[in-house]
Structure 1
């Protein structure tokens, strides 16, 4: 497990001691909070060298989270779409239904080592909130989750899960009432008492050491996937695809392949209602360099440097910033960042459900949508590995209300599969 947490750092030698990935990252926070961040950094650097911590983390990953998560060949979908073979890294099968549990277990273990009494966090789609509430319940800590009013309504099942697990869900009603505002509120609450509580951020964002720490805890995804795909296919994949909001699931799987230059890496941002509209959250595609929530990265911002309102059908992706390592990987050309619209994500949501019996999260559906388009440009002996970051239980009611299944049924007879796939192939 020690190698799992340190492999990617040793490979790239990033971040620097100051938490920088090139010009990105760092720590732009008040001096009193910087002292707390320094304490967290020191504790983290010590704890990842502690065999007792690593053994406990490994044990929980195996016996509680259910790791390793499998890699699955989506053969029926691959054959129907044509082109490359699509494989899925099934993070949706983890306990709590997404990749978020990977770093939440690590963060709460760290909180206990530091003697904290409470963990606090933001959540958009609710998966990070559920995962943190789960880890807090497991380890006997209090838990406050800040969530925008829009997302509370949209992701009601996850709100109920958090409450059942004993967390206090704090509704955020200001601004756009979504993820960015939830982060603002959680940071403010943390500033009021950084001594007895710890902010367990939900992605590879925020001031140093959070982008590094969350990436390291998520690196288990890439380490497993690298071994699994070689066992299944005899070689590394030709391409890896993951959705990108803040970017934790993508960094988790990308981290094990960054030195493999023949493996193309694709991060898929939310294009929402279109990149030619203001209703998207394609930070890398349309953003510029700025500072938000204590770190420097690419942001969607106005001429004054204020974060713009953003939008995505997927609550976990509607963030105006992105992890600093993603901005760095974009700047050096190692990762290709593209986008998928709401419509494309919903089509992929239905497509994977109908073709493979797997209902993906709307966040993950963005990656599936891009993989479908990418596969059609590749040969049948090539392989695409998609990080299926979460399951779609939380999205079912919303999708059925706003994007009813009848839109994707054939006009006359049939079961919908062929017409659905023909519709995709015509694009």
Structure 2
């Protein structure tokens, strides 16, 4: 999982499909990121922030009781223990530093579950930047706690009332807003989607998950490498970062999507939000509305590198239902004392199902990225349980 080919391509996916003003803005971001990434001073500043502010490295936790029940050895990469409660902070701290380096004074972001919005607001407050976060009206209702956190941190939260009023439409509005604000603002995309350089840049910023986990597995496991590496996939940033650490190993990579938002599993080739990838579409090529109980997975497509990994057969993409995800969240809480985000619960739901039906052979070692904590989903779970 190296850099994309010319023009930001992963096989036939990726690219930079954007208005002319954003093509130039994306080129500036790409050049600034390459320069910063090669600067030891910049990398050192980021490493320090990840350590003293975000709380890295995150631990690798053996899920003992659940492993015994499932007949596999399950290890959790604990991104839920980072500051702000999810993997999103890994990406945002760097992009905020990059924005300041470029002379931009405001961050623009989209958010679904609110975790990327909270991370953006947190980084902006830390570095003295402004933040404007676009969020679908429906997601604002179901993620009220994160909306309050963003506003408390000083961010402006802009409700998006068009379309499905969820993540897809929040992303569209954020990109439209950036068209008129490229001079003083940086668009801090939260996943491995969007026009080049965002898919590979965000993956590189999230590969800290996979690199840490690989070192931890080497110390913890007799084989040094797990048999399976599993992560949930919406746009796919936590999975891309996790997979990057194991792409050159024999580990089987499994991305778990929501049944109602399965871009990799059931999407068709199309263009959305600046890149060519796999998206849910009708027969006329119109993007169809996804659905997931997890707001962060409520996206109609998948990042272009995930689409490429699927085509190569290097990663497998599967789906689970809302009910399976809720059941998995409850089971983890009651066996390991961990309440996961509903996004992460999708990955766990597949592990539970696959262990039960033999898709995961008995005795397999499984690394699963627990991408976020479940505080934000308590109201949703309370209504269902």
When normalised by structure 2's length, the TM-score is 0.98
Match of 2:144?
A: 156
Deviates more, 1:221-230 or 1:299-308: 299-308
3-state SS of paired residue (1:18)? helix
Residues in 2 aligned to 1:84 and 1:374: alpha-carbon distance in whole angstroms: 10
Q: Deviations over 1:384-416 (max 9, x none)?
A: 010000000000111111x11xxxxxxxxxxxx
Residues in 1 aligned to 2:284 and 2:156: alpha-carbon distance in whole angstroms: 35
3-state SS of paired residue (1:152)? helix
Runs of 4+ in 1 over 3 A off after TM superposition: 378-381
Match of 1:73?
A: 62
Match of 1:264?
A: 252
Match of 1:123?
A: 111
Q: Which protein shows a greater Rg?
A: 1
Residues in 1 aligned to 2:19 and 2:277: alpha-carbon distance in whole angstroms: 18
- 1:354 paired with 2:334, answer yes
Match of 2:365?
A: 383
When normalised by structure 1's length, the TM-score is 0.88
C-alpha RMSD of the superposition: 0.9
Q: Is the 8 A contact 1:85 1:375 kept in 2?
A: no
- 1:58 paired with 2:44, answer no
Give the alignment partner of residue 215 of structure 1, picking from 169, 181, 203: 203
- 1:364 paired with 2:364, answer no
- 1:108 paired with 2:96, answer yes
Residues in 1 aligned to 2:93 and 2:284: alpha-carbon distance in whole angstroms: 38
- 1:250 paired with 2:208, answer no
- 1:90 paired with 2:78, answer yes
TM-fit CA distance, 1:301: 1.3
In structure 1, the gaps of 5 or more residues are 1-7, 272-279, 405-427
Q: How does 1:28-427 map to 2 (within 5 A)?
A: 28-81=17-70, 83-234=71-222, 235-260=224-249, 262-271=250-259, 280-376=260-356, 377=358, 378-401=360-383, 403-404=384-385
In structure 2, the gaps of 5 or more residues are none
TM-fit CA distance, 1:374: 2.5
TM-fit CA distance, 1:307: 1.1
3-state SS of paired residue (2:7)? coil
Deviates more, 1:280-289 or 1:326-335: 280-289
TM-fit CA distance, 1:174: 1.0
Residues in 1 aligned to 2:128 and 2:19: alpha-carbon distance in whole angstroms: 30
